[in-house]
Amino acid sequence: MDKLVSLCKRRGYIFQSSEIYGGLNGCWDYGPLGVELLRNVREQWWRAMTYRDDIEGLDAAILMHSRVWEASGHVDNFTDPMVDCRECKARFRADQIEDALCGSPAYKGRKAAKCQAEGKFTEARKFNLMFKTFIGPVEDSGAVVYLRPETAQGIYVNFLNVMASSRQKLPFGIAQIGKAFRNEINTKNFLFRTREFEQMEMQFFVKPGTDEEWFGYWKAERMQWFSRLGMEPSRLRFHQHGDDELAHYAKAAFDIQYEFPFGWGEIEGIHNRTDYDLSRHQEFSGKSLQYFDEQTKERFIPYVIETSAGASRSLMAFLVDAYREEEAPTADGKTEMRVVLGLHPLLAPIKAAVFPLVNRDGMQEFARKIERTLRPHFTVFYDDSGAVGRRYRRQDEGGTPFCITVDSETLQNQTITVRDRDSMKQERIGADSVVRYLRERLDLSS
């Protein structure tokens, strides 16, 4: 993880939020490559989930009526058990003390479990994870609003709006991507548990009785999405929630877990939320959220199968999965270690880099021409500084699938070399076919 975190900073993927002020815990910024990768993760999810006739898209506001969170159960139930250390005043999640370190600088590296065994901790008490703020100028209880801790509720409260405007019938889904906020007691493992993050959620509304079948369907679909985008299948698995793990709304839940360097961790949850959410919103809002089945003439509240992926957590899993170190031959016949981000071309932030081999004889001008030809079609990077071997390494580290080099032969016969990031093999092609060539090799159609 340390190597990946440092690569992310060096290459402009991820920076600590407010770094020049010492950083803000649990918040991260996406740099030039990170923001492209995040956009690509979102884009692939959006295509997979909404480019079909039974799912509609939505972008609901982050701030919602505070009754939403009473109805959803988050005001009462979205809590973690928290303990304080009387000695060092650090706070811990009571169920995660095993992994935690003591907060006192005087005891650097000491396990918090030891302090607990010595009786330094308070009794556990409930800590609500929602960030609270006020709407308007008056900070009283009537003005309280929350930053949403999940995007799902924006979908439930728009169930009728979307159904009526899109003329959908059951079964159908609503998908949305957006920020979510949780005031986690302890953040950890880079992007894994943060206070501000992004979710990609889809709620699929079905007739009660068909929910288990749809649950199976979405479990399989979502697992395939990760492997289709290049994630190593042996590092993916399902984890079924036991009764003690189920969220307050769920009848059944499976996590898709990825094997991170620090162990298996959830990247997406698939939940059977039954009619819990719509029933609660019907009760709290006084508006009927029933569905009328024209064929059977029945009225009922639909069940919901939810697929809930973390965009930022998935992004981190894609980065971990893509990271590799390997020996590579150098120009003088020796070998050196190269770091490669073997990201799937659909996810890679930059699709091609363009280099003049050396900065003379018009090679720069030719390379700039290639860059201009490619730019309307792909994200491209032009680089003419330093030895070409170093330029290749920089692109390998950033995850760029192809490097295009203009050399002296180019000037004679208008051909260029294209180097493949993974095999390091070079192919010579006509400069006029570069767009078509890259399009085929990048497989951007899938």
269 touches ligand GAP (CB under 6 A):
yes
Pattern 200-229, ligand GAP, x by CB under 6 A? -x----------------------------
> Of the candidates 36, 211, 268, 396, which one interacts with ligand GAP according to CB under 6 A?
268
Pattern 27-56, ligand GAP, x by CB under 6 A? ------------------------------
71 touches ligand GAP (CB under 6 A):
no
> Of the candidates 267, 363, 380, 434, which one interacts with ligand GAP according to CB under 6 A?
267
Q: Collect all residues with Cβ–Cβ distance below 8 Å to 244 and sequence separation of at least 6.
A: none
Contact 12, 37 (CB under 8 A): no
Contact 273, 251 (CB under 8 A): yes
Residue closer to ligand GAP by CB (options 40, 186) is: 186
| 171-190: contacts with ligand GAP (CB under 6 A) | 182, 184
321 touches ligand GAP (CB under 6 A):
no
Handedness of CA 404, 408, 414, 417 (dihedral sign): negative
Residue closer to ligand GAP by CB (options 261, 430) is: 261
Residue closer to ligand GAP by CB (options 92, 402) is: 92
Give me the DSSP letters along 117-159: HTT-BPPPEEEE---EEESSS--SGGGEEEB-S-SHHHHHTTH
Half-sphere exposure of residue 411, counting CA atoms within 13 Å on the CB side? 13
272 touches ligand GAP (CB under 6 A):
no
Contact 131, 148 (CB under 8 A): no
152 touches ligand GAP (CB under 6 A):
yes
Pattern 343-382, ligand GAP, x by CB under 6 A? ----------------------------------------
Residue type, 198: E
Q: 23 — phi, psi (to 5°)? A: 90, 155
Q: Which two tokens stand for residue 206?
A: 């079905």
197 touches ligand GAP (CB under 6 A):
yes
Q: How far apart are CA 345 and CA 80, in angstroms?
A: 39
Strands (E), 163-215: 172-181, 196-206
Q: How far apart are CA 374 and CA 367, in angstroms?
A: 11
Q: State the residues that interact with ligand GAP by CB under 6 A.
A: 150, 152, 182, 184, 193-194, 197, 199, 201, 266-269, 306, 308-310, 312-313
